[in-house]
Chain A
């Protein structure tokens, strides 16, 4: 784990040198479910960096209530993820499925697994090797937003593609 943190720190430094590189600008749908860029201009990121994956491409897709089907928008984000993963073949990922709090614990675990698996299947259909893609569900255990209304629920019903392993696998 600590090896991975070092690797991320290193690419962040390299990112400064690569700021003018905009080859990845066609990863259009970025902003849509991605976490806020927190003041970091996307242009400042190395396109091969995990930060670029998270912020510019978008590391997550969102779902409707009690659904695990991928919206056209979600498919666009996953297409961007698939391209990135194909070009950065050293990364393995864990896709984390989540549910909002409106549901029983066990059902939400199963629902989160469905969502994560829907994202995984789509990435495979876009050419990412299945052995690089693990899935895990957190059900309603790890909400991102904590209000009890749809504004928060819609952000919590998500499948997040978490980069892991890097060169160390």
Chain B
């Protein structure tokens, strides 16, 4: 499972460093915050295979890069059928006129070589109309079974150079895989690449599992399991698939766990005598701290990325609303004031926004608001949308959408925080409760 992946700069400009390359402000720029944008046309011809065994990877890597970039809705691929030039050597001069003629504003070229199970991918981005390289070429080394990750890394670099934002393609999603009818649903934990590839199951479906959450470094997953007959919090090492029960059983229910940014503390809900409050726990010592003490429901807590605050939902006002309090507990201030009920708040990894589920007039919405509750924006509407999770760059949200009726089924969807580019995420079976990992190293 562990793959070595290294990035090296290519070419004479290498000494200038990637930072300088990223900071360049060429004409090729997508401002993500703008309203409706025209997707930027680009071309990514098959990479050049430099060893015989590299042929099968060279074409597929280009296809994954294209799927990543076009999948954002910010880029539009100029298909291979329209290409005039063929790229036959990585270091051959680029015939910019041929790419201008098909209106490809960006061009990505690359080369692949395979040595045993070692895979090397090199790439360059080109600003076609400026007739120059877009940043510095990069080289990634890894194993052949990690070829998709290398494609995602290339796409992340291109995305980042053109948008000025960090990428999110080399990331994973842990979720609950669902099968069976609504009244006999089987659930098991699964983890996959952000685009639905490389699905791997982490538990069997013998007991209900809910709401997995990645650790800040992506190595562990917290989730709720009914294995003991009562919902309890488990932590799982993704690489080793080793599990450990964190909460004590004995008739108390624990659920809705999330890591603190330090990766050592968790925040969660515990129910006693029918009343649900928030607690933190030190994972290594098991020491608990009670954060709330109210007869109302307090649940779905989520830390701010700096670890200083917690956003959560409570029905202390009479209906589900969002509140923010200091991470150690104390005075909470309500931040949701619109019509309807608000739940499942999640702090953006950038720290600037909170995503939530809103229930109003029989419909469910995924929305975002500023951390003080301002600028509420609903991104989706359906019979049942819930449980947003942020892409590592804070620009895209994935969530669960469940369809109506006896044949109702849960699937994953993603949407930009602008509300654009709503689309399903491919999973082999029904799926719910996605949680996005940080960007992988």
Where the two chains meet, the residues of A that have a C-beta atom closer than 8 Å to any C-beta of B are 66, 68, 94, 101-107, 109-111, 113-114, 116-118, 120-121, 134-138, 141-148
Shortest Cβ gap from B132 to chain A (Å): 50
Binds A, one of B70-78, B115-123, B179-187, B325-333: B179-187
Q: Tell me if B230 and A104 are in contact (CB < 8 A).
A: no
Q: Tell me if B185 and A113 are in contact (CB < 8 A).
A: no
Q: Tell me if B297 and A107 are in contact (CB < 8 A).
A: yes
A109 CA / B276 CA spacing, docked (Å): 9
Question: Which residue in B210, B313, B386 is a CB contact (below 8 Å) of A141?
Answer: B210
20 further contact pairs, Cβ within 8 A, besides A104-B386, A137-B231: A66-B319, A101-B384, A103-B359, A104-B343, A106-B256, A109-B256, A109-B271, A110-B271, A113-B275, A114-B276, A117-B274, A120-B274, A135-B251, A136-B229, A136-B230, A137-B271, A138-B208, A143-B183, A146-B183, A148-B405
Given the known inter-chain contacts A102-B359, A134-B251, please indicate yes or no for A107 contacting B384, CB distance below 8 A: no
A103 CA / B405 CA spacing, docked (Å): 15
List of 5 A-B pairs having minimum Cβ-Cβ separation, nearest first: A117-B274, A110-B276, A104-B343, A146-B182, A110-B297
Give the size category of B's interface with A.
35 or more
Q: Tell me if A146 and B408 are in contact (CB < 8 A).
A: yes
A110 CB contacts on chain B under 8 angstroms: 269, 271, 276, 297, 299
Q: Tell me if A106 and B405 are in contact (CB < 8 A).
A: no
B273 CB contacts on chain A under 8 angstroms: 117
B433 CB contacts on chain A under 8 angstroms: 105
Shortest Cβ gap from A78 to chain B (Å): 15
A111 CA / B251 CA spacing, docked (Å): 16
Interface: B157 (CB within 8 A): no
- Shortest Cβ distance from A117 into B: residue: B274
Question: Which residue in A101, A116, A145, A147 is a CB contact (below 8 Å) of B274?
Answer: A116
Q: Mark B124-155, 1 if CB is under 8 A from A, else 0.
A: 00000000000000000000000000000000
Interface: B344 (CB within 8 A): yes
A103 CA / B342 CA spacing, docked (Å): 10
Interface: B300 (CB within 8 A): yes
Residues B305-320 near A (CB distance < 8 A): 313, 315, 319-320
A94 CB contacts on chain B under 8 angstroms: 229
A102 CA / B357 CA spacing, docked (Å): 12
B319 CB contacts on chain A under 8 angstroms: 66
A113 CA / B185 CA spacing, docked (Å): 21
Q: Tell me if A148 and B300 are in contact (CB < 8 A).
A: no
User: Please, could you name 25 A-B residue pairs with CB atoms under 8 Å apart, sorted by A?
Assistant: A66-B319, A68-B274, A101-B384, A101-B402, A102-B362, A102-B384, A104-B300, A104-B313, A105-B211, A107-B300, A109-B253, A109-B269, A113-B276, A114-B276, A117-B274, A118-B274, A120-B274, A121-B274, A137-B231, A137-B253, A137-B271, A145-B183, A146-B182, A147-B405, A147-B406
Q: Tell me if B387 and A105 are in contact (CB < 8 A).
A: yes
A120 CB contacts on chain B under 8 angstroms: 274
A141 CB contacts on chain B under 8 angstroms: 185, 208, 210
A94 CA / B228 CA spacing, docked (Å): 13
Question: Which residue in A111, A118, A144 is a CB contact (below 8 Å) of B183?
Answer: A144
Q: Tell me if B253 and A106 are in contact (CB < 8 A).
A: no
Between A118, A121, A148, the greatest number of chain B beta carbons within 10 A of the residue's beta carbon is seen for: A148
Q: Tell me if B274 and A114 are in contact (CB < 8 A).
A: yes
- Shortest Cβ distance from A141 into B: residue: B208
Given the known inter-chain contacts A111-B297, A148-B405, please indicate yes or no for A106 contacting B343, CB distance below 8 A: yes
Interface: B198 (CB within 8 A): no
- Shortest Cβ distance from A145 into B: residue: B183
- Shortest Cβ distance from B296 into A: residue: A110
Q: Tell me if B300 and A135 are in contact (CB < 8 A).
A: no
Shortest Cβ gap from A61 to chain B (Å): 14
Interface: B404 (CB within 8 A): yes
Q: Mark B339-352, 1 if CB is under 8 A from A, else 0.
A: 00001100000000
Q: Tell me if A113 and B211 are in contact (CB < 8 A).
A: no
- Shortest Cβ distance from B256 into A: residue: A106
A142 CA / B208 CA spacing, docked (Å): 10
A120 CA / B273 CA spacing, docked (Å): 9
Shortest Cβ gap from A114 to chain B (Å): 5
A101 CB contacts on chain B under 8 angstroms: 384, 402, 408
